[in-house]
């Protein structure tokens, strides 16, 4: 089981969330400053996109196959990987 580090864009506090929880559409509150952190694959916050990408990678590893469906129903597939 893997925990993914999330950096609050407001107070820069680092906290961890289990990868299975992190998916597009999730919003959590920073445990330090209560800033809402919205996980959106189109987020302008690089840390959010990195966390989403990391979570997806862990999920793929855990399942052993590529899952093409996302229960959130959002355009998570549009996540672009910079190369």
Q: Which residues bind Zn ion (CB under 5 A)?
A: 8, 10-11, 13, 30, 32-33, 35
Shortest Å distance, C-beta 52 to Zn ion = 18
Tokens 């997806």 sit on residue: 56
CA distances in angstroms from 59 to 12, 35, 65, listed in the order given: 26, 26, 9
What would the DSSP string read from start to end of 16-34? Answer: EEETTT--TT-EEE-TTT-
Report in angstroms how near the CB of residue 76 gets to Zn ion at its nearest: 24
Q: Looking at beta carbons only, is 5 or 13 nearer to Zn ion?
A: 13
Shortest distance in whole angstroms from residue 37 CB to Zn ion: 8
């Amino acid at each position: 089981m893997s925990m993914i580090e999330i950096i609050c864009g407001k107070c820069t506090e680092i906290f961890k969330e289990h990868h299975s929880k992190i998916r597009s559409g999730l919003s959590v509150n920073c445990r330090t400053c209560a800033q809402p952190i919205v996980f959106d694959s189109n987020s302008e916050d690089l840390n959010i996109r990195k966390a989403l990408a990391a979570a997806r990678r862990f999920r793929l590893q855990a399942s052993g196959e590529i899952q093409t469906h996302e229960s959130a129903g959002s355009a998570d597939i549009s996540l672009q990987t910079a190369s």
